[in-house]
Amino acid sequence: MKIIEVNHLSYKYNETDVAINDVSFSIDAGKYVAIIGHNGSGKSTFAKLLMGLLEPNENSIKEFGITLDKKSVHELRNRMGIVFQNPDNQFVGATVRDDLAFGLENRCIKREDMDAIINEYAEKVNMVEFLDKEPENLSGGQKQRVAIAGVLSMNPEIVIFDEATAMLDPKGKREIRETILKMKRENPNMTILSITHDIEEAYQADEVIAFNDGKVVFQGKPEEVLKDEKQLQDIGLDIPFVVSLRNKLEARGIKVDGKTVEEVVEQL
């Protein structure tokens, strides 16, 4: 089933600044899709368009088979969630507890049910002991985990990560990646769109879509699309370390097909 259909989508901030230029593609339900591209390639704009935070051109986006417009935007938003890049700027509440409650309040969840939901989702991202902490006493990774819990607590069918790990230190990055993978394991039907610079992360996805100058350059399985070094360099990206390792081994006549460095080492 196609959960997101994009049809001749264009968006410009002003006459000269065209962010998205006539893009068409679709995403299947339940997939983990990585959207890659260098800075200013239009991928973040695309995320905001999907959430209805920016207004797309008419009939260009369909989510769950419903056309995104002014009337349907609230209903569609209720079925989706997004985690942004800056951990501070999406923390609304005074404490972790209040922040998780914020989304529930918006959904008109009954007061009596809130505590149970807050505890359940704080547990899922290992933040229970921090429930009464203020954001300034949390690390970036912890704040992002709160943001993820906030999104998950609303049972979304699509979750978008807009460079959610870009501002974190390596430890925070690892925490968030693990949280995303755990989330995917627990909800196999959830569609995940991860907008990322991190080519290694993209390599773990089910599908990769590459943006360049507001256009989709290619879409496909990571093994297929992430091996052409020249093509990736043309759009300002590197190929994953494993792929370059495998390419070099292949050049010396050694054939391996591991998906991670560990697997390649194992096979050698």
Q: Between 34 and 151, name the residue whose CB sits nearer to other proteins.
A: 151
Among positions 53, 181, 265, 268, the unique one binding other proteins when judged by CB under 8 A: 53
| Minimum separation from the CB atom of position 96 to other proteins (A) | 12
How would you list the strands of the sheet with 61-63, edge to edge? 18-28, 2-12, 61-63, 66-67
Residue among 32, 46, 91, 130 that touches other proteins (CB under 8 A): 91
Q: Which stretch binds other proteins (CB under 8 A): 1-9, 27-35, 86-94, 194-202?
A: 86-94
SS3 45: helix
Q: Which residue has the tokens 């990322």?
A: 196
d(CA 120, CA 160) in angstroms, rounded, equals: 21
Cβ-proximal residues to 226 (8 Å cutoff; 6+ apart), any chain: 199, 202, 203, 208, 232, 239, 240, 243
Binding residues with other proteins: total (CB under 8 A): 37
* Residue 44 amino acid letter: S
Edge-first strand order for the sheet with 207-212 is 80-83, 158-162, 191-196, 32-36, 207-212, 215-220
CB 263 within 8 A of CB 245: no
Letters for 216-235 (x = contact with other proteins by CB under 8 A, - = none) are --------------------
Which of 4, 35, 61, 101 binds other proteins (CB under 8 A)? It is: 101
Among 22, 98, 206, 213, binds other proteins (CB under 8 A): 98
* Residue nearer to other proteins on the CB measure, 77 or 246: 77
Is there binding between residue 103 and other proteins (CB under 8 A)? yes
Shortest reach from residue 115's CB to other proteins, in Å: 9
CA angle 148, 150, 154 (to 5 degrees): 110
- In the complex, which residues of this chain contact other proteins (CB under 8 A)? 48, 51, 53, 74, 77-78, 80-82, 84, 86, 88-94, 98, 101-111, 114, 134-136, 150-151, 154
